Amino acid sequence: MALKEFKLPDVGEGVAEGELVTWHVAPGDEVTEDQVLAEVETDKALVDVPSPFNGTVEELLAEEGEVVPVGDVIITIREDGDDEETAKAADADADAETADSETAESDDADDGSSSGGRVFAPPSVRRLARELGVDLDSVDGSGPSGRVTEGDVRAAAEDDGDGDEPNGPRTVQSNGKSATAKRDEGTSASAAASAESADREQTLAAPATRALAKEEGVDIDAVPATEMRDGEAFVSPDAVAEYAQAQREAQAADAEAVAAEPDAGAATAEATGDAASEPAPPETGPGAGERVPYKGVRKAIGDQMQRSKYTAPHVTHHDEVDVTELVELREQLKPVAEDRGSRLTYMPFVMKAVVAALKDFPYLNSQLDEDNEEIVLRDEYNIGVAAATDAGLLVPVVRDADRKGMLELADEMNEKVEKARNRKIAPEEMRGGTFTITNIGGIGGEYATPIVNYPEVAILALGAIKDKPRVVDGEVVPRKVLTLSLSFDHRVVDGAQGARFTNRVKELLEDPKLLVLE
């Protein structure tokens, strides 16, 4: 087989899909191994996708802007030294696949048995399939040699919401709450039909699937099971994506319904389903506002913030530090650093101070293992530095900050922040942080209430260094003052400890000579 299919590789742990941002090749282009084929944006970063073989690009199977699940074929490449015949065969294959893809779970439609479309399923299962409107050909059997079981059919029925239901209105389960959908057919029928939810206690799913569910903001226990494994509901990434899509459509339909009934002010989200008996066309005037997709980095940030804020009870401790001496010290060191090719900001000093304080207060460098009800005191000091980028907030991590010198910290941080801004940072460069520092001062403001970068337990926000009047030796003098805002997870860290930690950071920043000892 000289025509090679290339699937979107696993571009990062927990990454289930990526948006194909740019193609660097076009059909007919010759490509060499490792040549960059495309740029793909995941929820973590922009990633280059290199070619695994030498050859000629046959076909691009994803469009720019398309969100592609990991494992989907994105490009076909004809390997060097090929002939016409296989091309035709491959085309035929491709056609066959296109035809197959009309069925529900198309991506591995050709996994079935080797022959004439025979599906192996007992009579009772075949009958159930008809009852539930499931096309047996589209069901992947979980039994021996792919035999289709009752569970497979039931899962497919839940999965495949748009099965042929003979008649009657459908009941839509939305996060366990039911609302009867009597919507106008055609407009939102499909959304209504496929928005069915499950309501389980437990769900089996691959980590990537769970990540996807989180990213999509769906409760994995509500996603209709793809199949049963060992008696437990098993959910596939496709099922999550489909469910999320259905939920979005259902919500959009609900929104339309609400918009359609301005008088129905009392309509709650739960009630909108049946309030929408006569939906008017959705409002499209300028008042409705521009709609920006909530996806990718934006959504990843949102989900992360939401999880942190709703999981960890936040407390924020504020204080001021007189950093006059630090400013002087940095002024002295800056040219020295420059001579060595480094750009020295205040951040490395703060990192040093924070690491020192974390050593004294290990609970601020910990993580709560909720499942095992244990607090894990981390034995490494990986400091995240929040960076504002065009795409949104990214947090590159400087690992083992305790074992790095000031300039090393400066260089590494600068480099990673720069990569983040250019969205060239690798997902693994943003992982594994134990504590985060965010600098809000660059833009303005005094204090903040930062949200902890969960599962870390604390985050320190730096304000701007400003000249402020301070009393020194009984006299009011202008001093350089930095504001600190430390947010922490109150489940792990109490207010007193947070304050003591801040005091320690403060002490080190006020008298930066002490940092030499650290």
Partner 1 sequence: MVVGDIATGTELLVIGAGPGGYVAAIRAAQNGIDTTLVEKDAYGGTCLNYGCIPSKALITGANLAHEAGNAEEMGIHADPVVDMSQLRDWKSGVVDQLTGGVEKLCKANGVNLVEGTARFKDENAVRIAHGGEGQGSETIEFEHCIIATGSRVIQIPGFDFGDEPVWSSRDALEADTVPERLVVVGGGYIGMELSTTFAKLGADVTVVEMLDDILPGYESDVARVVRERAEDLGIDMHFGEGASGWRDEDDGIMVTTETEDGEENEYRADKVLVAVGRSPVTDTMDIESAGLEADDRGFLSVDECRRTDVEHIYAVGDVVEDTPMLAHVASKEGIVAAEHVAGEPVAFDSQAVPAAVFTDPEIGTVGMTEADAEEAGFTPVVGQMPFRASGRALTTNHADGFVRVVADEESGFVLGAQIVGPEASELIAELAFAIEMGATLEDVASTIHTHPTLAEAVMEAAENALGQAIHTLNR
Binding residues (CB under 8 A) for partner 1: these are: 113-116, 118, 120-123, 126-127, 130-131, 143-148
Q: Considering the complex, what minimum distance in angstroms separates the CB of residue 127 from partner 1?
A: 6
Distance CA 325, CA 509 (A): 8
Q: Is 317 a catalytic residue?
A: no
**147 contacts 172 by C-beta, under 8 angstroms:** no
Nearer to partner 1, 123 or 186 (CB): 123
Cα dihedral sign for 437, 443, 447, 450? negative
In angstroms, give the least distance from the CB of 128 to partner 1: 8
- Kindly report the number of other CB atoms within 10 A of residue 283's CB atom: 13
Nearer to partner 1, 149 or 502 (CB): 149
| Residue nearer to partner 1 on the CB measure, 146 or 302 | 146
Structure tokens belonging to residue 255: 């929104």
Burial class (CB in 10 A: 0-12, 13-18, 19+), 446: middle
Residue number, 49 or 136, with CB nearest to partner 1: 136
In whole angstroms, the minimum distance from the beta carbon of 144 to partner 1 comes to 6
DSSP 469: E
Instruction: Give the residue carrying structure tokens 């939102």.
Output: 188
Closer residue to partner 1, CB minimum distance, 120 or 346: 120
First to last CA, the chain: 61
The answer to whether 485 and 316 are in contact (CB under 8 A) is yes
Shortest distance, position 135 Cβ to partner 1, whole Å: 13
Q: Which is nearer to partner 1, 118 or 177 (CB)?
A: 118
User: In 3-state terms, what secondary structure has residue 238?
Assistant: helix
Q: What is the 3-state secondary structure (H, E, C) of 138-192?
A: HCCCCCHHHCCCHHHHHHHHHHCCCCCCCCCCEEEEECCEEEEECCCCCCCHHHH
CA–CA separation, 259 and 279 (whole Å): 9
- The minimum distance between CB 97 and partner 1, in angstroms, equals 17
CB of 140 to partner 1, least distance (A): 14
Q: Which of 24, 314, 318, 490 is catalytic?
A: 490
- Count the neighbouring beta carbons within 10 Å of the beta carbon of residue 166: 5
Catalytic residues: 490
